[in-house]
Amino acid sequence: MKMRCDLTPAWKNLQHHAQGAVDFDLRTAFAQDASRAEGLSQAAPHVFADLSKNHTDAATEALLIELARQTGLTAHRDAMFRGEAINHTEDRAVMHWLLRQPEGSLQEGALAEPLKLVHATLGSMLAYAERVRADAQVTDVVNIGIGGSDLGPQMAVLALQDFVIPGKRFHFVSNVDGHELAGVLKGLKAENTLFLIASKTFTTIETMTNARSALAWFKAQGGTDVARHFAALTTNVAAAAEFGITTTFGFWDWVGGRYSMWSAIGLPVAMAIGAQGFKDLLAGAHAMDQHFQTAPLEDNLPVRLGLLDVWYRNFLNYTSRSIAPYHSALRRVPAYLQQLEMESNGKRVDRNGQALPYGTSPVLWGEPGTNGQHAYFQMLHQGTDIVPLEFIAVKKPTHNLKDHHELLLANVIAQAQALMQGKSDAGGHKHFTGNRPSTFLLLDELTPASLGALIALQEHRVFVSGSVWGINSFDQWGVELGKVLAKDIHARIVSGDASGLDASTAALLQRVRS
Ligand code: F6P
Question: Is 343 assigned a catalytic role?
Answer: yes
**Alpha carbon distance 439, 60 (integer Å):** 16
CB 344 within 8 A of CB 474: yes
Cα of 482 vs centre of ligand 1, distance in Å, is 13
Residue 224: CB partners within 8 Å, gap ≥ 6?
Answer: none
Ligand 1 center from residue 298 Cα (angstroms): 35
Ligand 1 center to 200 CA (angstroms): 7
pLDDT for the residue numbered 1 = 61
Instruction: Tell me the best of 201, 248, 260 to mutate to test the pocket of ligand 1, counting ligand atoms within 8 Å of each CB and taking the most.
Output: 201
Measured from CB, residues less than 6 Å from any atom of ligand 1 are 146-149, 199-201, 204, 207, 257-258, 343, 476, 479
Q: Percent of the chain, pLDDT > 70?
A: 100
Give me ligand 1 centre to Cα 454, in Å: 22
Residue nearest to atom 16 of ligand 1 (CA): 199
Among 63, 38, 64, 35, residue whose Cα is nearest residue 51: 38
> Could you tell me which residues are beta bridge partners of residue 320?
363
Non-local (6+) Cβ contacts of 480 within 8 A are none
Cα(148) to centroid(ligand 1), Å? 6
Say how many Å lie between the CA of residue 255 and the centre of ligand 1. 12
Task: Give the integer Cα–Cα distance in Å for 159 and 483.
Answer: 31
3-state SS, one letter per residue, for 174-222: CCCCHHHHHHHHHCCCHHHEEEEEECCCCCCHHHHHHHHHHHHHHHHCC
186, 374, 399, 402: the active-site residue: 374
Q: Which atom of ligand 1 is nearest to 234's Cα? A: 14
- Which atom of ligand 1 is closest in space to residue 257's alpha carbon? 8
**Closest Cα to atom 9, ligand 1: which residue?**
147
Distance separating alpha carbons of residues 275 and 223, to the nearest angstrom: 28
pLDDT at 425: 78
Q: How far does residue 436's CA lie from ligand 1's centre (Å)?
A: 36
Determine contact, residues 47/441, Cβ cutoff 8 Å: yes
Ligand 1 center from residue 146 Cα (angstroms): 6
Q: How far apart are CA 105 and CA 290, in angstroms?
A: 13
Q: Where are the alpha helices (DSSP H) in 392-502?
A: 404-421, 448-469, 480-495
Residues lower than pLDDT 50 in the chain: none
* Ligand 1 pocket, mutate which of 476, 477, 483 (most atoms under 8 A from CB): 476
Catalytic residue among 12, 116, 423, 483: 483
Q: What's 315's DSSP letter?
A: I
Atom of ligand 1 nearest to the CA of 479: 1
Index of the ligand 1 atom closest to the CA of residue 198: 14
Residue type, position 238, single letter: A
CA angle, residues 14, 19, 22, in degrees to nearest 5: 120
Atom 2 (ligand 1) nearest CA: 479
For ligand 1, atom 10, which residue shows the shortest CA distance? Answer: 147
Ligand 1 atom 5: residue of nearest CA: 147
pLDDT digits (tens, 9 = 90+) for 191-200: 999 999 999 9
Distance (Å, whole) CA 478 – CA 232: 26
Choosing from 92, 149, 341 the residue with most ligand 1 atoms within 8 A of its CB, the one to mutate for a pocket test is 149
* 33 contacts: CB under 8 Å, gap ≥ 6: 39, 57
Pocket probe for ligand 1: among 89, 200, 201, 255, the residue whose CB has the most ligand atoms within 8 Å is: 200
pTM: 0.97
Segment 149-188, tens digit of pLDDT: 999 999 999 999 999 999 999 999 999 999 999 999 998 9
Q: In what order do the strands lie in the sheet with 230-234?
A: 169-173, 140-144, 193-198, 230-234, 248-250
Pairwise CA distance, residues 345 & 473, whole Å? 5
- Cα distance between residue 53 and residue 366, in whole Å: 19
